[in-house]
Amino acid sequence: MSATEPRTTRPPKPGRTATSRRPGTTALTYTLLTVGLVVMSAPFLWMAISAFKTPKDLGASPPVWIPTEWTLANFRELLDLMDIARNFMNSAVVAVVVTVCNLVFCSMLGYALAKLNFAGKKAVLGVVLGALMVPGNLMLLPQFVMMSKMGLLDSYAGLILPFAAGAFGVFLMRQFMMAIPDELLEAARIDGAGEWYIFWRIVLPLVKPALATLSIFVFLGSWNNFLWPLVATNDPDKYTLPVALATFATDPTKAAGSNGVLMAGAFLVVLPVVAVFLVLQRHFTQGIATSGLK
Amino acid sequence: MGQQAPTGPELRPDRLSRQNLAGWLYSTPFLALFLTFMAFPIIATLLMSFTDFGLRNVTHPLDARFVGLDNYTALFGDPKFMKALFNTCYFVVLGVPLTIGSGLVAAVLLNSGIDRFRTFFRVGFYVPVVTAIVAVAVIWRFVLDPSEGLIAGLGAQLGFSTPDFLASKALAMPSLIVMAVWRNMGTAMVLFLAGLQAIPVEVREAAKLDGAGAFQEFRRITVPLLRPTMLYVAVMTTIGFLNVFEEPFVMTDGGPGDSTLTVSLHMYKEGFSFFHMGSASAMAYVLFTIVLAVTLLQFRLLKDKTR
C-alpha cells in the first residue's frame, strides 16, 4: 500500500489469467485505445507540423496536412523576436538548482522523520503534511511583496528560493526511507558511524530510485512552472521559457504575427521535456503510482 | 500514512541527544525555507485581506489600513467575482468527472488483458501530463483557431463549418474544459492502473466462478476496491481544477465577456494588474476555504461508504 518497496519494478499483470477473452472484445479494446491515442496526439502532431509550415500552407483552406514546403522560417523569426536561448538557459539553471536543493534538503528531513528520534519530530511531520495541502495561490501576494522588499525580483534567487524544499519531496523520501531496516542503521551506530556518515553513505545509496523519481518530478515541476515566474520577473532577460512563450502569445502586438511562429515556440518548450519523458517514462509513471497510492 | 515512530532498540541518553541534534540539523533547511516562504506568507495573506493593501504598500507594507471584513463583503457583492466563482465551479463540476471518467476508462481498457502495445498506449496517453500547461494552452488556442486551426481544418475537409470556439460566450469555457480533461486524464489513468493492478486476481476469479459478467465484475469488484484510488484522484484533480489559471490566462484572458474568468485569474489581475492586493488576498482565502471544504466533503462521501 505504501511506497515501501522501491525495488518492485512491475507488479504481475492480473486480469490476464482471470479473463478468458473473446477476439471481438480484444478488437474493440484496441479500436477504442487507438481512437483515444489519435485524439491525445493530434494537437501535438498539428503543432509539430505547423511549426515547419510556410504562411501559405498555414492559411490554406482546405488545410494542408503535409507541408508542400518544409521551412525553418518560423524558428528564425522566433529567434529574432525573443532571446529564446537566454530564456531556455534561465529555465534550465532554475530547474537544475531547484532539483539539487530538493534532493539534498528533502532527503535530509525525510531521513530524520523516518529514522531518527528527536524531540518535536511529530510537530515537524505535522508541518510537512500540512504544507502538502496548501495551494500556492495562498502565498503569492505576500511572496511578491517580500521579494520586492528583498530586492530579489528578476533574480535567480527569487525564482529558486520558494521552491528549494518541497513538502512533497520530504514526504516521498520519508516513505522510501521507512523501508530501510532499523537494524542496519543500528549496526552502523554500534560500529561507531556518525549520523552524517550513516545518512550520506548508507541511507542515500539505498534510496537511489526514490532520488531519481524525486528529481524527475521536481525538475519537471520547475520547468513547467508558470505563475510564480510570471509574477517574479519583469525583465524579458529573466523570463523562463513558459513565461516568455505566454508573454509572446498574449501580447496583442506580437501574437497577431503568425501561428507558425507560436508553434515553433511551443515546439521548443515541449520537445526537451517530451524527449526526456520518452526515455525515462517508466520512472515517471511508477513515481506517480507509488507516490499517489499512500 | 504511518504516524508511529521507528521502533528501534531502547536508546541510551547520549545517543538520544545525538539524534536530537541530528534531527534538528536535518530539519533546519526545510523549516527555514518553509517559515520564510510559506508560513509567513500564509499569515500575511490573511492579514492583508483585512486591509486596503495597494500599490504603495508594496514598498511600505505597514502603512496599509485595517478595513475589517470590507474586502470580503465587497467580494460577495461584486458581480464580477461571483461570475468568476461560478465559472470556476462550472470548470470543476464538468471537468473533474470527465477527467476521472476518461482516466478510468483508459485504465480499464489497458488492464483488460491486452498483450501488445500496452506501454505504447500508456505512454501516449500520459504525454500531455508532462508538458507545460502554457505550451499546451498555446497549442490548443491554435487547434481551436477559427481560420487556421485543426478543428476548423477538419471541418473544412469534411464539409461543415465550425464555430469560433474561444470567441463564443457559450463555447469558450467548455473548450477549456475539454483541453483540461485532455491534459489531466493521464494522471488519473496511471493512478487507476496502479489501483487496478493491486486488486488480487483471486477476487476476480471468485467473481467469475460465481457467474459474474464483465459489467457485474466491474460494478461489484472493481469500483468498490478502487475506492481509495478514486478518493485520491478526485481530491487531487479537484484541487488542481479549482486553481485553474494558465488555460484562461493564455487562451482567453478571461473573455469573452468574463465567460472564462476564474477565481485565480481574477485574483491575479486584481493583485498584479490593479494592485488591489487586499481584495486579491481575500479572494485567495475564499478560494482556499472552498478547496478545504470540498476536500473534506470528498473524504466523507467517498470514505464512509466503504465502512
Q: Is the pLDDT of residue B11 over 60?
A: no
Q: Is the pLDDT of residue B60 over 90?
A: no
Summary mean pLDDT of chain B: 88
Share of chain A above pLDDT 90, in %: 48
Interface probe, candidates B11, B25, B30, B50, chain A, greatest A C-beta count within 10 A: B30
Q: Which of A32, A104, A131 sits opposite B34 (nearest CB)?
A: A131
Tell me what pLDDT residue B102 has: 96
Q: Is the pLDDT of residue A290 over 70?
A: no
Whole-number Å distance between alpha carbons of B131 and B138: 12
Q: Is the pLDDT of residue A18 over 50?
A: no
**A195/B18 Cβ within 8 A:** yes
Q: Is the pLDDT of residue A80 over 80?
A: yes
Q: Please give the ipTM for the structure prediction.
A: 0.86
Residue found under cell 505547423: A50
**Chain B residues touching A106 at Cβ < 8 A:** 30
Question: In 10 A of CB A85, how many CB atoms?
Answer: 10
Residues ≥6 apart with Cβ < 8 Å to B35: none
Confidence of residue A64 (pLDDT cuts 50, 70, 90): confident
Q: Is the pLDDT of residue A10 over 60?
A: no
Tell me what pLDDT residue A2 has: 42
- Average of per-residue pLDDT across B192-207: 85
- Chain A touched by B133 (CB under 8 Å): yes
Residues B246-304 have pLDDT tens digits of: 999 999 999 899 999 999 999 999 999 999 999 999 999 999 999 999 988 988 887 65
Closest residue of chain B to A125, computed from CA coordinates: B3
**B126/A285 Cβ within 8 A:** yes
CA atoms within 13 A on the CB side of A199: 23
Confidence of residue A17 (pLDDT cuts 50, 70, 90): very low
Q: Is the pLDDT of residue A26 over 90?
A: no
Q: Is the peptide bond before A62 cis (omega within 30 degrees of 0)?
A: yes
Q: Are B138 and A266 in contact (CB under 8 A)?
A: yes
Whole-number Å distance between alpha carbons of B269 and B234: 29
- Average of per-residue pLDDT across B86-97: 96
Summary mean pLDDT of chain A: 85
Tell me what pLDDT residue B176 has: 96
**B42/A259 Cβ within 8 A:** no
Share of chain A above pLDDT 70, in %: 86
- Average of per-residue pLDDT across A175-186: 90
Tell me what pLDDT residue B305 has: 55
**B7/A108 Cβ within 8 A:** no
The lowest-confidence range among A69-73, B7-11, B59-63 is: B7-11
Whole-number Å distance between alpha carbons of A169 and A136: 16
Closest residue of chain B to A29, computed from CA coordinates: B109
Q: Which of A18, A37, A164 sits opposite B205 (nearest CB)?
A: A18
Tell me what pLDDT residue B25 has: 92
Q: Which helix (H) or strand (E) holds B120?
A: helix B118-130
**A269/B194 Cβ within 8 A:** no
Q: Which of A37, A121, A139 sits opposite B38 (nearest CB)?
A: A139
**C-alpha distance from residue B179 to each of A143, A251, B15 (Å):** 30, 22, 56
**B33/A146 Cβ within 8 A:** no
- The Cα of A31 is separated from the nearest Cα of chain B by a number of Å equal to 10
**A278/B112 Cβ within 8 A:** no
- Chain A touched by B138 (CB under 8 Å): yes
Q: CA-based angle A288:A294:B5, to the nearest 5?
A: 130
- The Cα of A103 is separated from the nearest Cα of chain B by a number of Å equal to 11
- Chain A touched by B34 (CB under 8 Å): yes
| Higher pLDDT, residue B8 or A194 | A194
Closest residue of chain A to B251, computed from CA coordinates: A250
**B187/A284 Cβ within 8 A:** no
Size of interface A-B (CB pairs under 8 A): 346
The gap between the terminal CA atoms of chain B, to the nearest Å, is: 18
Q: For residue B126, give the nearest of B79, B174, B191, B81 by alpha carbon.
A: B191
Tell me what pLDDT residue B219 has: 81
**C-alpha distance from residue B235 to each of A2, A218, A224, B38, B287 (Å):** 18, 21, 22, 22, 15
- Average of per-residue pLDDT across B201-212: 81
Tell me what pLDDT residue B2 has: 42
- Chain A touched by B296 (CB under 8 Å): no
What is the sign, positive or negative, of the torsion defined by CA atoms of A292, B4, B10, B14?
Answer: positive
Q: CA-based angle A41:A47:A48, to the nearest 5?
A: 90
Q: Is the pLDDT of residue B74 over 60?
A: yes
- The Cα of B83 is separated from the nearest Cα of chain A by a number of Å equal to 19
Q: Which of A141, A164, A266 sits opposite B139 (nearest CB)?
A: A266
**Chain A residues touching B288 at Cβ < 8 A:** 134-135, 137-138
**A270/B131 Cβ within 8 A:** yes
Name the pTM for this structure. 0.87
Q: Measure the CA dihedral B138/B139/B144/B146, to 10°.
A: 80
- The Cα of A137 is separated from the nearest Cα of chain B by a number of Å equal to 6
Tell me what pLDDT residue A82 has: 85
Confidence of residue A250 (pLDDT cuts 50, 70, 90): confident
Q: Is the pLDDT of residue A19 over 80?
A: no
- Average of per-residue pLDDT across B171-184: 96
Q: Is the pLDDT of residue A197 over 50?
A: yes
